[in-house]
Amino acid sequence: MEGTNIYAIIETGGKQYRVTPGQTVDVDNLNVIEGDAVELDKVLVLGDDKVTTFGTPNVEGAKVLATSHGTIRGDKIIVYKFKSKVRYHKKTGHHQLYTRLAIDKIEAPGVEHKEPVKKSSRRKKEEAESGS
């Protein structure tokens, strides 16, 4: 699944998100530091232009790699409690914490992703002497 429009549906924090590479998504607060890499392995659906793979419940071997952009606060929610005729009222507010993730890569199962081997520009002394 190396299509141009690859997507995945992941689960984190009890919620499901449809993500694509290069996307930024706000998920429930994770215990990660800004700049750390996050590996999300609860991939429920993996798809592209041609093929869609559904997990039972997860797609085995599929991973979504993301980078944390830190913790942010959501919009303020006002909670107001009121009881008539007893002069009771209470007003409180709440900001939910979210972790902002930038989706770097979606890895499909069965695809080996190796780090590229850096080739040296100089030939070894033995190769030069043997004439090859």
Cβ pair 50, 78 in contact under 8 A: no
Q: What is the pLDDT of residues 106-121, one digit of tens each?
A: 998 876 555 555 555 5
Three-class HEC string of 115-127: CCCCCCCCCCHHH
Q: What is the pLDDT of residues 35-50, one digit of tens each?
A: 999 999 999 999 988 8
Cβ pair 42, 60 in contact under 8 A: no
Q: What is the pLDDT of residues 43-83, one digit of tens each?
A: 999 998 888 999 888 999 999 999 999 999 999 999 999 99
Cβ pair 116, 31 in contact under 8 A: no
**pLDDT averaged over the chain?**
86
Which amino acid is it at 73?
R
Predicted TM-score (pTM) of this structure: 0.72
